[in-house]
Every structure is written in C-alpha cells, then in structure tokens.
Amino acid sequence: MAPQTPLESGINTPNTHIHPTAARNDTPIVVESEKTVYTDEYITSTYDYHTQTVINDNGVFKVTPKVQTYQFRTQRKVPRMGLMMVGLGGNNGTTLTATILANKHNIHWHTKEGLQTPNYIGSILRASTLRLGVDPSTGSDVHVPLSSVLPTVHPNDLVIGGWDISSLPLDQAMQRAQVLQYDLQRQIAPLMASIRPLPSIYYPDFIAANQEERADNLIPGKDKQAHLEQIRKDIREFKQSNSLDSVVVFWTANTERYSEILPGVNDTAANLLKAIEQSHEEVSPSTLFAVASILEGAPFINGAPQNTFVPGCIQLAEEHQSFIGGDDLKSGQTKVKSVLAEFLVNAGIKPLSIASYNHLGNNDGRNLSAEAQFKSKEISKSSVVDDMVGANHLLYKPKGEGEKKGEHPNHLVVIKYMPAVGDSKRAIDEYYSEICMGGRSVINIFNECEDSLLASPLILDLSILAELLTRISYRCVDANGQGGEFKPLYTVLSLLSYMLKAPLVKPGTDVVNALGRQRNALELFLKACLGLEGQGDLLLETRVW
C-alpha cells in the first residue's frame, strides 16, 4: 500500500517551552518556587494533594483530612505530532483539516457578513484562559491561555492523516459535507485535494445499512486479524514516513451499535485478542482500531458513543500502559445540559423530567436514523445528569437495598434525521422541575448549532491534551522527599472528561459529568504540574481586614 499523503506542517524547535507557532500568542510561564525545578528536559514539580475521608458513625460524619505529596515531571520538548482520524473524509474530518489549513496558511474568505479570518474558537486550549494569580501592583486577576501553562503542540503543526470507508479525496469530501462557506472551500480545495484517506474496515452489522453506498475504500477480506495488522502497519508507516515523534488515533467515524459483552470473547485482554484472531462477529471496527493503537503505543480517543472500550480493551491498555479516552464528543446540547442540571440541583431545585429533542441532516444524523445506532447515542446522552442527581440525597431518594437505581428524573432523548437542515443541528430541551411548596418551574431551550464546527475544536483539544499527558509522569514522595521511580499516568485519561458526553473513567471510580467540576479538575492538574496550588474563589484577601 502506498504511503498516505498527509497534511504536512512545520517542525518545532526542541527543548523550548513555547512552540514556535504558539509563541505568536502565548506568554511563557516561569514559577519561582522551591517546589518547581526547570531543566532543559523536564519541568519537575512537588505538589501536596489534600483530601478528606468521611465515615458515617451512627449519624455523625467523622472527617479526616489527609495529605499526599506527589512529584510531577513533564517533558518540555514539544514533539512532532501526527493525528490519524478514523472517518477522515466525514464532516468532522474534513472540517478539522480545512480549519488547520486555513489557520496555517492564514486564508481569509468572504461571507455575506464580510471578510472572515481563520481561528480556533471553540477550543479550550486555543480560545480560553486560566486564572493564574493576582498582579500585586493592580490587585487584578491575571489570566493566561490554557495552552501556555505547559508545553503543548500547536494545531497548525499537526500532521493529519487517517482512514475512511469512502475513497473521495478531501476536497470532494469537504464539498459533500456542506459545512464550510463556499469562498473558503474554493481557496482551500487545492490544499485538500492531495489528501486521500487510507482504506478502512467496514462491518455492516455495526453501522446503518444506509452507509453501504459510501463504502468503496476498504481493506479487503473478512479476516479481522489481518485487518488489525494492516491498521498497525498504517500507523507505523504514517509515523515513519512523516518523521513523527508521536501519533494520536481518533475515532470520528459513524456511531456503531453497542457491542454485546460476552464472557470468553471481549471480557479480558487475552479473550479479546483471541476473538480477533477468530474474526468473532462481536468485535467492532472501533474496538479493532483501539486495539491496533494500544499495541502500537498510540493514544486512542473514541469520539462516538458506542462501547468501543469493552472490558478486554481496557485491560489490554492497562497491560501495555497505553492511553485511551472517550466516549462521545460533548459539543452542544449535552454540554448545556451538564451545566443546567448542575445549576438546578445545586440550587436546591428538583428536576422531575428532562426531555431532549434533536433533528439534524448530516451523515451522522442519517446513520443515527437506524435504531441500533440511535440506542448508542441515547445511552451516552442520558447518563449526563446521573452524578449530579446522585450527589443530592435531600432532593432524590438514594438507591435502596436490592434496587438498581435511586430516584431519578424522567429523561427522554429523541433524535430525528432531517436532510434539509444539513449540519445545522436543532436541539430543543424542556426542564420540568419542582420548586418550593409543590410549585413547578419549566425552562425551555432552543439551540441551533453547526455540529461539525463545534466538534472539530474538541477533536483538537482531546488529541493535543492526550499527547501532553503522555509526557507527564508522577511518583509519590514521603516526608523526606524520597520516592520511587516516575511512572506514567493511569491508562484511562479521565482528565479529558470536559469534552466528552459519557466520560470513561478508571473502573471502580465515580463518573463526573458536571461541567464545572470537569473543567476545574483539568485546570488544577495543569497547575499541579507547575507546583501551584489550586486557586479557588475564596478570595480571603477581599474578606478580611
């Protein structure tokens, strides 16, 4: 197979905190503290992690504060990074590639509102800030771009490639997607034309039958072990031919049906590998791509709602200390829901029902018109309020003995395919709540959003953060400052939860869906890697004499 033609980009200067491209808008951060040490190779920080354990002793909550000291070590060299997307020729893949090209080449285009300049609005790394501290001369808060806290890859410098069941070059795939303005497409088409997706795998049982007409670019045969080896080869060749230091693989292809969890098939790593050898019908394309990425040491992110990470896949990632993250991009309606549900419950208001209706006309909507694929999406969208409801036993009766679930709002999710609206998705939500003395409150929200233009920046954030987390290691240290060897973070990258509808977490730990908590966790971790304490909103200096 001929090497894939990638989206090529510049090479970074090694051993610098700020990437050459990023230096245009990022300010270096230097922490002057005995807890933070800089060398040419690493930033090493010492961080005291404060927690509390709580025991309910006959109705008395006994709280014990605890402190564990960690050291974090971050490699400073920003690597030459490749991003391989499964579904490269889809709406998200073409939109993201065009966005990078427009920013890299500073392409301006005309709309009916006037001249438009390229940007990365919607990316928390490139378009949001973090409160770093207070300027003593003015007493004002100082905010810095999230991307400048630790050395991160700039999107303009990504090398893009990937797979698709459709053979269209990306200029034609972009035109088919009907997402971007015509004048932008016209200018960027010559740059997109040379990018062609690698052949992918197509198992008709996992996606809607209406996708078959697109499937003209397939790895031949039905041998799943052969498919696995070809995908692994594709990753290796892409990395080698483009002189890459690292590759992240991202699933942005169609939503699959849920895989059935079968003992002896996908319940353990060994069984999953054996099932692939036997071409078992319950091994999905996304799980196969995940396994290939794990075996190649490439972080794999699942941007769709299906259960790609079956138990055997998670165990395999643990065994290889390879990074995985997912599931399902949280771009529009669900992001609003995770904010509003948190607000209502924290305000002591009791949502009784949440009804969500969607209609959209892109290929994602067409695929979701099939019942099995819709079910995957329904599951990921429905769980988003669970942790907020479970946190308030004053409003909701907790799970009793023998019960699977405690009291919970009625939660309805409906998705319909409406070709006329294209990528411009419509979402309607009703929040029906109980308020004081038996009263009722109703909040209705109508949200119209261009789906792929919201999703593409999230793919950037997830991929770039996943790469950053591969360069961070940790160790626990004792009171004398002594610790063992540095080791990588845990396999499941739950720090990516802010961008995901159904966050994958370490087995046995609680899922956090509340958007504010997810964002706060990410900010606190980035600060911890600089040896900085999390600066909350207590603002004692404004409340004391």
Known catalytic residues are 328, 377, 425, 501
Contact yes or no for 191/114 (Cβ under 8 A): no
User: 236, 303, 287: which is closest to 85 by C-alpha?
Assistant: 303
Could you give the 3-state DSSP secondary structure of residue 326?
A: coil
Please give the angle made by the CA atoms of 119, 123 and 128, to the nearest 5 degrees.
Answer: 95
Q: SS3 sequence, 144-167?
A: EEHHHCCCCCCHHHCEEEEEECCC
In order of 275, 534, 535, the CA distances from 538 in angstroms are 54, 11, 8
The C-alpha atoms of residue 248 and residue 84 are separated, in whole angstroms, by: 6
In order of 87, 181, 308, 377, the CA distances from 9 in angstroms are 21, 24, 31, 35
Strand arrangement of the beta sheet that strand 472-477 belongs to: 36-38, 42-57, 60-75, 472-477, 487-488
* Distance between first and last Cα of the chain: 72
**Which amino acid type is present at position 287?**
T
Contact yes or no for 304/279 (Cβ under 8 A): no
The C-alpha atoms of residue 128 and residue 335 are separated, in whole angstroms, by: 16
In order of 129, 200, 351, 500, the CA distances from 515 in angstroms are 16, 34, 17, 10
